[in-house]
Amino acid sequence: MTEILDSTVDPQGACYNIAAVERDTGLSKDTLRVWERRYGFPKPQRDQHDERLYSLPDLEKLRLLRLLIDYGHRPGKIINRSTAELSQLVSARTPDQSPPPEIAAIIELLLQHDVDQFRNALLQALMKQGLLRFVTETVAGLNHWIGEAWLAGRVPVFDEHLYSEHIQNILRNAIIAQPGRGSGPRVLLTSLPGEKHRIGLLMVEAVLTAEGAACVALGTETPIIDIKDAVPAYRVDVVALSFSSAITQTAALSGLAELRTLLPAGVEVWGGGGALARARKAAPGVLLLRSFDDLRYALERWRVEHALR
């Protein structure tokens, strides 16, 4: 939940520290600092310890900016517009869109705070669809529509947190319940420091597990040097990193390039997630995955190539 600091610091309203803004908007601390230097927004105050403090209007504008960037807008083109203008851009983008009925029904249970029925609906979808379809259709759809509603302020932060916890628990249990230990390739799954979003990693692990791969999951925020050391320890064939749209494309590509230089040539490096959705190319030896279809093609290609050796 968003951390609200002493409201007496800001006579116009409550203040939020940078960690709270990062959690609430999905924008990384590095992104917030870069925007401050490059564009002059946000303009946080400072507390007695010289820590940044953001106002509620700043937070609301940052939510809209994050949503519009997800739609494909460039920060430099929209960051100096007013909150009202940004709201109009959002409204112009979304009026005719609505989730599919099956997704809408699950979201409605979440908004009604019917926790038991919400969880039951997710489990029923999993049993009906199987793990692969559940991830690529239901979870992917819920992530999209709940994410948009949250960033636009239509879903409270606590509902988004409850959704995240339930999805993570269900995916973990479903992965554990998959039969067998998996065959090649052995895929190490993690994210780099600063990337806290866990659902994307679990979704990739679920797809790979359903397709029979062997996964080594390290969780989030693993330093590059530790990833390097883990590769021989776990006899890894592929390292797959997830980058949400809270991370800048430049940072994601840079991290992948650095990791590539540290690993043996025979170990593949894959990268995916919202931060890389519009990336045109990566460093040599790095494979960009923009969809679950790309992930499955990469898996099949690895198996074909290694079957021929």
Tens-place pLDDT, residues 199-225: 999 999 999 999 999 999 999 999 999
Domain 7-93 classification at class level: mainly alpha
Q: Where are the domains of the chain?
A: 7-93, 101-175, 181-307
CB 242 within 8 Å of CB 203: no
Query: The domain 181-307 is classified under which CATH number: 3.40.1670.10, 3.40.50.280, 3.30.70.100, 3.40.50.720?
Result: 3.40.50.280
Look at the pTM and tell me if it is higher than 0.85.
Answer: no
Rg (CA), the chain: 20
3-state secondary structure of 139: helix
Which residues contact residue 273 at a Cβ distance below 8 angstroms, ignoring those fewer than 6 apart? Answer: 200, 242, 243, 244, 245, 247, 252
* Residues of the chain predicted below pLDDT 50: 1-12, 95-96
Predicted local confidence at residue 13, as pLDDT: 55
**What would the two tokens of residue 278 be?**
């519009």
Predicted local confidence at residue 8, as pLDDT: 35
The answer to whether the peptide bond before residue 95 is cis (omega within 30 degrees of 0) is no
* Closest C-alpha among 57, 16, 7, 24 to residue 158: 24
**What would the two tokens of residue 307 be?**
């079957």
Same fold, 101-175 and 181-307: no
CB 192 within 8 Å of CB 224: yes
CB 274 within 8 Å of CB 197: no
Predicted local confidence at residue 6, as pLDDT: 38
**What would the two tokens of residue 184 be?**
């090649």
Backbone phi, then psi, for 163, in 5-degree steps?
-60, -45
Query: Domain 101-175 adopts which CATH fold?
Result: 1.10.1240
Predicted local confidence at residue 1, as pLDDT: 34
* Closest C-alpha among 307, 253, 259 to residue 279: 253
3-state secondary structure of 136: helix
Predicted local confidence at residue 151, as pLDDT: 63
3-state secondary structure of 51: coil
